[in-house]
Amino acid sequence: MKVSYQWLSEYVDLTGYTAQDLAELLTRGGIEVDVVESRNKGIQQVVVGFVTEREKHPDADKLNVCKVDVGSDEQLQIVCGAPNVDAGQKVPVATVGARLPDGLKIKRAKLRGVESQGMICSAKELGMNDRLLPKEIQEGILVLPAAAEIGTDILDVLSLNDEVLELDLTPNRSDCLSMLGVAYEIATLLGREVKLPHVQEGLRESGTAASEKVQIAISAPEQCSHYAARVIDGVAIAPSPLWMQNRLMAAGIRPINNVVDITNYVMLEYGQPLHAFDADRMAGDRIDVRHAYEGERFVTLDDVERELHSHMLLITDGEKGVALAGVMGGANSEVTGTTARIVLESAKFDGGTVRKTSRELGLRSESSLRFEKEVDPARVIQALDRAASLMCQYAGGTAAKGISEHRVKEAHPLAVTVTLDKINRYLGTSLSVDQVGDILTKLRFPYQEKQSSFTVEVPTRRGDITLDVDIIEEVARLYGYDEIPTTWIEGEITPGALTASQRIRRSLRELLSSSGLLEASNYSFVQPDQIRELPGLYPQVKPVALAMPMSEERSVMRTSLLPQLVEMAVYNRNRNVEDMAVFEFGRIFLTEQEQLSELPREREMLAVLMTGNREPLHWNGKPAKTDFYDIKGVADQIVRYLGLETHIRCEELQVEGFHPGRTAGMYMTDATSHTLVGIIGQLHPELQKEKDLAETYVLELEIDALYEHVPAEIAYHALPRFPAVSRDIAVVVDESVTAGVLMDTVRASSGDLLESLSVFDIYQGEHLGAGKKSVALSLVFRHAERTLQDEEITAQYEQIVDALASTHGAELRK
């Protein structure tokens, strides 16, 4: 809402307060003022001139030489290029020494040999927003009304020495979508009076009663609680008075003609949208407010044919639709240059209905904006009278007697009760009855107070106030939020704590960042193709699609963190960052449904990506490239850190988008289940090539699947008191036999004495034979209670060697 300071001063005495002061007051009172703009964009010394003569320039076809009276002793000779300039016009004249908004300083000049003592200005040259000007004024000079007095400062004529406050209104304060609403707010803040317009001043009534000229029926009473109309005869369509046009432009509305301007002016003044029908273009003497028929077609004033639905509200003349209630009028009954009779509508339409209609049709108007936030029912008649009076004054009309209306229900002010005790308990204040009473008085909320309980009669203009807490807010904001004390919550002490999973996630973040990985954070929306090429752990799910994505690239929810991590690697590589070690925590969204009927499963994932050099280059070292075992190391470290060694198993895995020979699955394993919870591997070389990436390794782990298995506490093991015995075994096996299964066999075939087991060498060479490899294992045995005997170790050792031989065909390496 744009509020003209000058216009506002008609309703409230603003003496002593600048527009900036008001902006600060409003903002601190809860109505944010975005900006205060001066309507004068830098004009000095531009006055009203009268063109007494116009002649063609002797040497230039497109130029005119004008004689202009600006009220000084001598007439000025001004060369003007505008095609519409003519003798007999009142025009804005920038005299020598004048300044215009673009910084232009007017000097004496010669144009093609003819002296020019100033410049006749267009609206644009005066810094006016030409979007708000009638088309004919956009081109050429601005022609002023004949009544403008010669020599008057143009700032006064066009009200450009005004300032405009632009309010950023929250949805509850739709009362301030009207000048009167703002006036009430300012009057409350300043403790001053509100001067209301006399709605019937200038009204001329005669002849048949309006109720006989047009009968009103409401067949959708839920959507329209009140419909009122006046009939105005004998109007003459012409421009509206300049002061009205100036105010409309200050409010950001384009002047059109007197009738339309008056409806807009009164809408701005009262917040009540009005509509003027050309009565002669209506079928007869009735108006019916009904639901549209499903599929009914209707052409709105913007000449667009629209298909309506049965929940929409249509104003009809008994035969055809003439307006889409509260949203936009119809082309078929629009006021034109020849309109002589007007049916003027003022009504209360249901906000939700207007909102739904305007959204579905993509048709937002100043009218719908106000209706959808519920207009003040008390102003339906006031605004109607005010507009009719203005039409009598400025459009030459005469109103038919009285008002024709259909009122479904009377609107009464709401009574809201709140006690002083509740106010003080809620706010933490210690206000007195008088203090609260003063605030209510300033708000002009009538109230009764009995034993510190206030019963407030909320004016209908403040439809946002329905509960005691709404009154409390009014009291608080007018008392001043700054004045409210600061206190501590009283009552029992509550322990603050993270849950186990929150703690684990936190410590993993610390672990990974301390291990040299940077944390990334990617958007949650992806492109379907990205999922297809790298589906991760859940290739079988249906990605959840947004109903109206902003772009194809961000149209579905991610089902894996990997695609975006890979894109991130591409992004960085394109910026010459080649060495990366990155992790991300984030949710993925899983469902098997094509069409969601319930929320998808959200799983917390951890993803890691590594590529390039393993460590930063050092002057004294050789660069080493990251390989599979670096990313596997990250996985192993996490597993060990969380104490999950006995739960997680790694096995070979084939997944889309991964190198078929360099990918492992991480399985959560117990006696009964074996669930894939992670993938570790190299990106498929084809994919790497397509993305122009070097060897890139990734890991994705479903963190949500781990929490329940993480031991709650560390369990201490007593330090060993007896010595350990080490034995190494090197066996030759087929190269297809994995270290993992060999170690499984060792563990299975040795007893409790085996304390630890690790691989310390892998060797392949010609003398082992083709397709063979040697795996060297280091075994440590220990008994907790005594020193081990050589014989028992040897027995164990032989048992293990036998098992390796029989299970894997392993031979001891000679």
Partner 1 sequence: MRERLLSLKDEALQELEQVQSAAELNELRIKYLGKKGPLTEIMRGMGGLSAEERPVIGQVANEVRGAIEAAVQARQDAFDRAETERRLQQEKIDVTLPGRVSKQGGIHPLYRIVQKMEDIFLGMGYKVAEGPEMEQDYYNFEALNLPKNHPARDMQDSFYVTEDILMRTHTSPVQVRTMEAMKGEVPVKIICPGRVYRRDNDDATHSHVFTQVEGLVVGPNIRFSDLKGTLLQFAKEMFGPQTQIRMRPSFFPFTEPSAEVDVTCASCGGDGCRICKHTGWIEILGSGMVHPRVLQMAGYDPNEVSGFAFGIGVERIAMKKYGIDDIRHFYVNDLRFLRQFAKY
Residues 361-390 that bind partner 1 (CB under 8 A): 372-373
CB of 455 to partner 1, least distance (A): 18
CB of 802 to partner 1, least distance (A): 44
Scan residues 450-469 and list those touching partner 1 (CB under 8 A).
Answer: 467, 469
Binding of partner 1 at residue 237 (CB under 8 A)?
no
Scan residues 660-699 and list those touching partner 1 (CB under 8 A).
Answer: none
Select 426 or 797, whichever has its Cβ closest to partner 1: 426
Letter for the amino acid at 196? L
CB of 377 to partner 1, least distance (A): 17
Q: Which residues contact 695 (CB under 8 A, 6 or more apart)?
A: 611, 625, 626, 627, 682, 688
Scan residues 240-299 and list those touching partner 1 (CB under 8 A).
Answer: none
Please pick, from the candidates 161, 172, 211, 460, the single residue that binds partner 1 as defined by CB under 8 A: 172
Binding of partner 1 at residue 542 (CB under 8 A)?
no
**Per-residue contact string for residues 333-352; x = within reach of partner 1 by CB under 8 A:** ------------------xx
Please pick, from the candidates 477, 709, 727, 813, the single residue that binds partner 1 as defined by CB under 8 A: 477
CB of 704 to partner 1, least distance (A): 11
Binding of partner 1 at residue 507 (CB under 8 A)?
no
**Per-residue contact string for residues 564-603; x = within reach of partner 1 by CB under 8 A:** ----x--xx--x-x-xxxx----x-x-----xxx-xx-x-
Question: What is the gyration radius of the CA atoms in the chain, in angstroms?
Answer: 41
> Residue 299: in which H helix or E strand, if any?
strand 297-299
Select 281 or 373, whichever has its Cβ closest to partner 1: 373
Alpha carbon distance, N-terminus to C-terminus of the chain? 92
Q: What is the 3-state secondary structure (H, E, C) of 221-279?
A: CCCEEEEEEEEEECCCCCCCCHHHHHHHHHCCCCCCCHHHHHHHHHHHHHCCCEEEEEH
Please pick, from the candidates 156, 201, 280, 615, the single residue that binds partner 1 as defined by CB under 8 A: 615
Please pick, from the candidates 15, 521, 540, 736, the single residue that binds partner 1 as defined by CB under 8 A: 521
CA–CA gap between residue 415 and residue 370 (Å, rounded):
24
> Residue 213: in which H helix or E strand, if any?
helix 210-213
Letter for the amino acid at 52? T
CB of 258 to partner 1, least distance (A): 32
Please pick, from the candidates 495, 711, 723, 765, the single residue that binds partner 1 as defined by CB under 8 A: 495
CB of 560 to partner 1, least distance (A): 16
CB of 417 to partner 1, least distance (A): 13
Binding of partner 1 at residue 35 (CB under 8 A)?
no
Scan residues 399-428 and list those touching partner 1 (CB under 8 A).
Answer: 425-428
51 in helix, strand or coil?
Answer: strand
**Per-residue contact string for residues 3-32; x = within reach of partner 1 by CB under 8 A:** ------------------------xxxx-x
Please pick, from the candidates 66, 76, 176, 476, the single residue that binds partner 1 as defined by CB under 8 A: 476
Select 52 or 513, whichever has its Cβ closest to partner 1: 513
CA–CA gap between residue 39 and residue 106 (Å, rounded):
21
Please pick, from the candidates 146, 147, 550, 671, the single residue that binds partner 1 as defined by CB under 8 A: 550
CB of 567 to partner 1, least distance (A): 9
CA–CA gap between residue 285 and residue 299 (Å, rounded):
22
CA–CA gap between residue 599 and residue 136 (Å, rounded):
57
CB of 585 to partner 1, least distance (A): 8
Write the CA distances from 157 to 36, 146, 148, 247, 650, integer angstroms: 21, 12, 7, 12, 85
Please pick, from the candidates 106, 237, 440, 512, the single residue that binds partner 1 as defined by CB under 8 A: 512
Phi, psi of 78 (to 5 degrees): -130, 130
Number of residues that bind partner 1 (CB under 8 A): 96
CA–CA gap between residue 375 and residue 367 (Å, rounded):
10
Select 351 or 535, whichever has its Cβ closest to partner 1: 351
Letter for the amino acid at 194? V
What is the DSSP annotation of 348-409? EE-HHHHHHHHHHHT---HHHHHHTT---TTHHHHHHHHHHHHHHHHS--EEEES-EEEESS
CA–CA gap between residue 259 and residue 339 (Å, rounded):
10
The closest of 441, 399, 435 to 420, measured between CA atoms, is 435
Q: What is the 3-state secondary structure (H, E, C) of 765-789?
A: CHHHCCCEEEEEEEEEECCCCCCCC
Please pick, from the candidates 67, 99, 309, 356, the single residue that binds partner 1 as defined by CB under 8 A: 356
Please pick, from the candidates 88, 97, 221, 516, the single residue that binds partner 1 as defined by CB under 8 A: 516
